[in-house]
Structure formats: structure tokens, C-alpha cells
Chain A
Amino acid sequence: MIRPWILAGVAAALVAGCASPPPPPPVADHPSQWNENYHALIIGNANYRDWRPLRGVINDVHALQEALEANQVETTLKLDLTRAQMEEALVDFVFSRGLDPRNKLIVYIAGHGYTETLISGGQWGGIVGVESPDPRKDLAGYRRSSVPMKQLEDLLLKAKSRQALVLLDTCFSGALFEGAAPPVPPTSDEERRHRERLPTRQFITSGSAGDRVPDFSQFNAAILGLLTGTIREPQWDGYLTGTEIGRYVASTLVSQRPQYGTIRDPRYADGDFVLRLDPRFSPAPMDQPVPVRFVSNIDGVTVYLNGRELGKADARRPLDVRVLPGQYMLRAAKHFSTIPSIDRIEQIANSWTGQTVQLRFPVQVAPPP
């Protein structure tokens, strides 16, 4: 028979400085507990055989790589690829990083794009390989040295990853969404959170078909800003979503008409890609609840904040809640039926996004009689 004995465990109690309203009820499914990994493939095509060079691309993709890595995204950067090399890089990426559903994929491609008008009147976008000739002089040559965006869509359907986000900073790249319904923004915070759990294949392009994107990429600058906190994410909570990026670029880069949306497959239509920003880049505002996780070393610990019960934390199942930033009186207790409860009282100060509070109960196991 094993009986827990309590040795000690009361720390000084401090009262919160923030007499704010009581914290909201716990949220069970929060991105902070999904244990996901982020992987990015970045392709930058700057120097072409027949197309004019895109001087800005090299700097853009290096800056993007740095910004993603600062947010704990593993990156692969490839420069000046032919059509065959682009296909290889994409297949290698999808069939290595995309094999685990929890791995989230980001594909960023900067370079020339080209749009053909189909007999049906639809538009057909392709990413131009560096070896491609001018399609107005050699259409067959162009077609065999470019990657149709449709192919990129199909390839991503072979990934097991639940979520994938494609960012295309290419001339004429809006062709992907011709005729597709515009995405409907979520109407509530709950709906938004729900969408962030669902599988998605999201695409954001820098400019509509027919528009030429200049050498200096405002699209790239906007994404860098969002990733590094110089532009505040529209929904200020430390989690940057595909819809947030899409809506931001669509509303600020009006003249080049960026497009965003998901592929048409209904199974991927409702999700929203979510990237957890490094806390450095998204300090939580004082009026927005932020996620806090409680981890306990023993099972069945009840957690109270300012005297209000939040729920139970177990050794294997942490308790995730969202609270407003500030100071709170934290009480954690383990109730037994036969022996007095053990209590541990702590203070959390300045809670921030993704904070984890360790609840350590010094517990000794009595020797068998």
C-alpha cells in the first residue's frame, strides 16, 4: 500500500495588482498544447536565362528564412531552380516533412510567374523555372520549364500534414483563385479557434493575374513584419493565422490585389493555418486573454486563480486556460478523502502567451508497513 505523505508546501501568498475581471473559463483545445512542428521550404528564383532578373528576391528570401527561424520554424532555402529542381525540392519536402500530421508545412516561392488564358476563359498560372524561354516566343519551351500552380496543389494533397500554407510572391500569381469563392472571415473567437484545428491547404498570392509585382516586394515586407512583430497581427494573441496574413496583405497592398483562400476540396476548406509566434514578437496586450498552462507533478490537482476554480491538472494532462495578463493569487490543492488536503500557493506575475506554470508538490511515499 502506498500512501502519500506531505512534507511541506506553502509559499507566501501575494495578491494580484490587477483587479481585473475574473479570468475566462478554460479552453480545452488550445494551439499551445498541440505539440506541432513547423517546416518551411523557401524557393527564390532571381537569375533567369531569358527573363529579366529579380534583384530583390535573394534578399527577400534570406530575410524570410531568418524571420521564420526566429519563430522556431525549420527552413530549407533553395535559390535559382529549374523546373525539374523545383519539382524535386517540392517532392522531397512533402515526402519528408509532410509525413507527420502534426508537422505544419509552409512553402514560400518568390520569382517570375506567368498566366495563360484558357479556351474556357479561365486563367492558368505557372511558376517559371530559371531555364524557361519567353512564352511569347516559345510556348512549348515555357510549358515544359514551368510548374503549374495546380501541380503544387495536387502535391500538397499527398502530404499527411494537417495544415499547409503556400505563400507565392510571383508576378501574375493571382491566377490560382480565379472563380473561387472568397473566404468568409470567422464571426466569433470560438469559430476562429475551431477553424485553427481543422486541416487546411491555404494559398496566399502577392498579386492578381495581370499585375506585375515590382522588384521591391511589399508582400514579402508585410509577411516579415507580421512574423517579427513590427506589424501587429490583426488578432493580437500570439498566433498568426493564414487568414490573418491573407486579410492583412489584401487590405494593405490594395493596388497589387493579393489573393488568399483554400483549395477547393471541401475537406480542407474550413481550416485556418496557425503559426505560433515567438513570444518576443507578439507581447500580449493587457486587454486580451493569453493562454497559460499548468503542469503538475501529481495527479488530480485542482487549480484556483483568485479563489476561482479553473479545473484539474494531472501529471500527464496539463491544464490549459486563458487569462488576462497580470498578477494573480494562485492556489493549487490536492484533495484526499481520508487525509487533509495538500495545498500549494503561488503567485503568477505578468502572465504571457504560452506561459507554463510548474506545480511541484513535494510528496513522499511512505514505506510499506
Chain B
Amino acid sequence: MSRFVPFLLLTIAALAARPAAAEPMRGLATVVMRNSAGTEIPLYSNSFALVVGNATYTEGYTSLPPVRVEVDLVAAALQRNGFTVRKVLDATYEQFLAELAAFSAGPGADSENRLLFYFAGHGETVMLENGVPYGSICMVDTPRADLDRIGYEKRAVSMQRIYDETQRMRARHVLCLFDSCFSGSILASRSGGDSFASDLDAVPDDVRDHLRHPVRQFITAGAADQLVPAKSVFTPAFISLIEGRDPAARRDGYLTGRELAFRLYNIVVDRSKGAQTPQDAFVDILGPGKQRGDFVFKLEGAP
């Protein structure tokens, strides 16, 4: 029975790769990291991103016109970084579930893939009866929670559900970014923010080997009780970092997920004058105590 599994996975991977051919792709997407001895550490064979931007809300939430432009910029920057990008504008609840399922069962089925999920739009937090804040992201047809709670419950996508979906992916590294109001709540109920290493750029060789371990990383634009402005501070900062425009970040030519979270925090707190504090969390999907990998972006013009 079990020997059919690799075959199945291959089939799924092959199916997943097919639509990718139609999408614009820039050169070879294989990402390789070189350690000081010059040995190549293969990190990813393919990179896929699902970019969802909800700008035009129909059931009570205000529309967010800047999102339309932001997702274009994010998609373009990710493509330049070697990602095959699936961009979805103004997703309804049903459309979003279909996109997420296709993303997790398609590109997500290959352990050698690098996956990035990006969402811009409204978020909402409600309290569970056990006192835990429960955050969700809102689709364009999600009714406003304070006006139609039952409708909201039927058509909001909980952060928990996104987290759960990343658990079903076999891809080694998955990074999820949320540029939405109240989006920090997944972190309050999960592992809490991660403590940052002080010397982020010094990536010793043995640590580079560890990078290959599985990880799920979440970065949100603000904490659970913060309002995020319609015109994003978070997204431009993210783009400038993965484009390698931050001189501090590009010293070694790689930007890790941990480093991204740290620098995003500094930039966004600075530009929002402290009103907005991005949160991040790593989730050890193999359980506590296991070695944890890190998401890696290769920066333009890297040595």
C-alpha cells in the first residue's frame, strides 16, 4: 500500500507544475545556498506564492482601494525573486477556500517547494468563550461581525484555519504574511512572538545546514488590538526587504524568515511611530524540541 505513495506524490507534483508553466516565470527557480567552503546546499526546487488582496468589500466592511495596487507590487516583487505567483483579487469565501485548497494540495504537496502566502484585506478578532482572542481574515462577502455575527461566522476564514492548512502542506518551508487589521491574534493564541537572535546576518555554516528543517512562519502587520491603516506601511517594507534594497539586510546575500520578521518590525514600528507592531511566530510543526528551519530569500546581486 505505502509504496504507491511516492508515485501519488509525484503525480500530484506533476499536476501542480502544469498550470505553473502558463504563469510568467523568471529563469530557474531552484534556490541554492552556498556555505563558506563553497559547498552548495540545495534549498528549494520550486517557489510558489499565493497572493490574495481584498479591496472591494460588499457586506459591510469598508473597501480598501490601495490593496489593489499593493498586491500587484507584491506579486511583481515575488516574481522577480523567483516565485511562481498566483494572484487573486477580491476573493469570496468560496473562492478563497478553493484557492487555498489548490495551493496546499498542489504546490504544497512537494517537500522541496518553498511556499509563501500573502494576504491584504480586513481582519477581525472575536473572543472565544474561554477568553482566547480568535482572529480571522475577511473575504469580500464576509458580513461585518458586529452587524451580522452569524453571517460573519459562516464566511470568515480563521487564522487557525490558515495555520491548519499549512500543517497539511508537505513543503518544507511555508511563510505566511498578513497585512490586515487585527491580524496579530493568531500569535496570541499560539506560541507568542519569537525572540530574535542578536546577530542575524552571521549565519554560520552549521546553521545553514539546519535551514533545511521544516518550518511554518507567520508574520502579521500588527498586534491583535491594533488598527492597520488602509494605506499599508507593512507591504512597502516587505517589498523593499525582499528586493534587497535594505543595505543591512543584503550583506550576506540572503534574507531569512527570522531576519525578515526582525527588520519588518523595526521598519514598521519606526514608520508608524509605534502605532503598529508587527508580530511573528515560528511554529515547530514537528513538535517542540525538534530542530527548526528557516525560510530563505536569495537577494538580488548576492555574492
Pick from A57-65, A86-94, A249-257, A347-355 the stretch touching chain B.
A86-94
Binary B-proximity of A152-179 (CB < 8 A = 1, otherwise 0): 0011011110000000000000000000
Whether A144 and B130, one on each chain, are in contact in the complex, defined by CB atoms closer than 8 angstroms, is no
Whether B158 and A143, one on each chain, are in contact in the complex, defined by CB atoms closer than 8 angstroms, is no
**Known: A84-B94, A92-B150. Is A116-B161 also a contact (CB below 8 A)?**
no
Whether A158 and B286, one on each chain, are in contact in the complex, defined by CB atoms closer than 8 angstroms, is no
Which residues of chain A are within 8 angstroms of B111 by Cβ–Cβ distance? 119
A141 proximal to B (CB < 8 A): yes
B8, B97, B134, B214: the one contacting A119 at CB < 8 Å is B214
Q: Chain A's nearest CB lies how many Å from the CB of B90?
A: 18
Which residues of chain A are within 8 angstroms of B168 by Cβ–Cβ distance? 116, 118, 124, 143
Which residues of chain A are within 8 angstroms of B169 by Cβ–Cβ distance? 119
Bound-complex Cα distance A151 to B163 (A): 12
Q: Chain B's nearest CB lies how many Å from the CB of A136?
A: 7
Pick from B20-28, B101-109, B201-209 the stretch touching chain A.
B101-109
Whether A120 and B154, one on each chain, are in contact in the complex, defined by CB atoms closer than 8 angstroms, is no
Whether B104 and A140, one on each chain, are in contact in the complex, defined by CB atoms closer than 8 angstroms, is yes
**Known: A139-B105, A140-B102, A158-B126. Is A95-B287 also a contact (CB below 8 A)?**
no
B129 proximal to A (CB < 8 A): yes
Chain B residues 80 to 123 lying within 8 A of chain A, measured CB to CB, are: 94, 97-98, 100-102, 104-106, 109, 111
CB-nearest residue of chain A to B131: A267
**Known: A119-B111, A119-B169, A160-B129. Is A91-B161 also a contact (CB below 8 A)?**
no
B149 proximal to A (CB < 8 A): yes
Which residues of chain B are within 8 angstroms of A92 by Cβ–Cβ distance? 150
Which residues of chain B are within 8 angstroms of A141 by Cβ–Cβ distance? 101
Bound-complex Cα distance A120 to B134 (A): 24
A120, A142, A151, A160: the one contacting B285 at CB < 8 Å is A120
Instruction: Categorize the interface residue count of chain A.
Output: 20 to 34
A265 proximal to B (CB < 8 A): yes
Bound-complex Cα distance A92 to B148 (A): 12
A84, A118, A268: the one contacting B130 at CB < 8 Å is A268
B94, B106, B154, B167: the one contacting A124 at CB < 8 Å is B167
A150 proximal to B (CB < 8 A): yes
B199 proximal to A (CB < 8 A): no
A116, A121, A124, A157: the one contacting B128 at CB < 8 Å is A157
Whether A159 and B129, one on each chain, are in contact in the complex, defined by CB atoms closer than 8 angstroms, is yes
Which residues of chain B are within 8 angstroms of A150 by Cβ–Cβ distance? 160, 164
Whether B101 and A143, one on each chain, are in contact in the complex, defined by CB atoms closer than 8 angstroms, is yes
16 A-B pairs in the complex with CB atoms less than 8 angstroms apart = A91-B153, A91-B154, A119-B214, A120-B167, A120-B285, A122-B167, A124-B164, A140-B98, A140-B101, A140-B105, A142-B105, A150-B164, A155-B153, A157-B129, A158-B129, A268-B130
Known: A119-B285, A143-B101, A143-B165. 20 other contacts (CB 8 A): A91-B150, A91-B154, A95-B153, A116-B168, A118-B167, A118-B168, A119-B214, A120-B167, A120-B285, A120-B287, A122-B167, A124-B167, A139-B12, A140-B101, A140-B105, A140-B106, A142-B101, A144-B97, A151-B158, A154-B128
